Structure 1
Amino acid sequence: MNLYWMAIFVATVFEVLWVIGLKHASNPFEWIGTASCIVTTFVLLTFAGKKLPIGTTYTVFTGIGTVGTIVIDTLFFGETLGVVKILLIALLLLGVIGLKMITEEHDVSIEKVHA
């Protein structure tokens, strides 16, 4: 796994944190942490988008973030996890893994776009 894909995966960790923070933050310190996670997420996504196709980058990011949020919600906040939900999560992960496997790096710079 290269640096750009790693940035996407780390961004998803911060995404899960800020999504949880939006629901559960109750004091200024928690809101500052939530805002910091949002900024970190989008800095990492911007970095990854420099070398990876943005459509794939965002799809992988949101797919993994969705799964991560569901897992955390189930483990820590009592959300139920039925068979249908598990099958849909597996289907989502299959699509994310497939996109990652077929995506090639490329340099996306302003100079190349305007050339």
Structure 2
Amino acid sequence: MNKDWLKVLIAAFFEVFWVIGLKHASDFWTWSGTVISIIVSFYLMIEAGRKLPVGTVYAVFVGMGTAGTVISEILFFGEPFKVSKVLLILLLLAGVVGLKLVTKDKVQEGDES
């Protein structure tokens, strides 16, 4: 995995925090964490989009963030576990992995990473 796809992965990780924060934040510190998570998430996604196809970056970002948010809600916030929901998340992740596998990275002059 190259560093730009790693940025997308980390951005999606922070997306989970800010989405949960939008629902559960209740004081200065939780709102501050939510805002910081939004800034980090979008910064990394934008940086990755400079070298990778933007449409694919966004689809992978949203797909992984959605899956992470649903799983977090089940594990930490008492959302009911449903087999159908898990199967749909797996289908979503299969699509995200498929997009990643069929997308070629842009190679810019002077950049060999």
Does the alignment reach a TM-score above 0.5? yes
Aligned ranges 1:65-84 → 2 under 5 Å: 65-84=65-84
Specify every segment of 5 or more residues in structure 2 that has no aligned partner in the other structure, as ranges: 109-113
For the 8 Å contact 1:50–1:107, the answer to whether it is kept is no
Please state how far the C-alpha of 1:107 moved relative to its aligned partner: 4.8
- Distance in 2, Cα, partners of 1:52 & 1:106: 6
- Distance in 2, Cα, partners of 1:107 & 1:15: 27
For the 8 Å contact 1:8–1:57, the answer to whether it is kept is yes
Determine the structure 1 residue equivalent to 2:88: 88
Determine the structure 1 residue equivalent to 2:100: 100
TM-score normalised to structure 1 length = 0.90
Show structure 1 runs of 4+ deviating over 6 A: none
Determine the structure 2 residue equivalent to 1:113: none
Determine the structure 1 residue equivalent to 2:17: 17
Could you tell me the percent identity over the aligned residues? Answer: 52
Specify every segment of 5 or more residues in structure 1 that has no aligned partner in the other structure, as ranges: 109-115
- Distance in 2, Cα, partners of 1:85 & 1:33: 28
- Distance in 2, Cα, partners of 1:86 & 1:19: 19
RMSD: 1.1
TM-score normalised to structure 2 length = 0.92
Determine the structure 1 residue equivalent to 2:2: 2
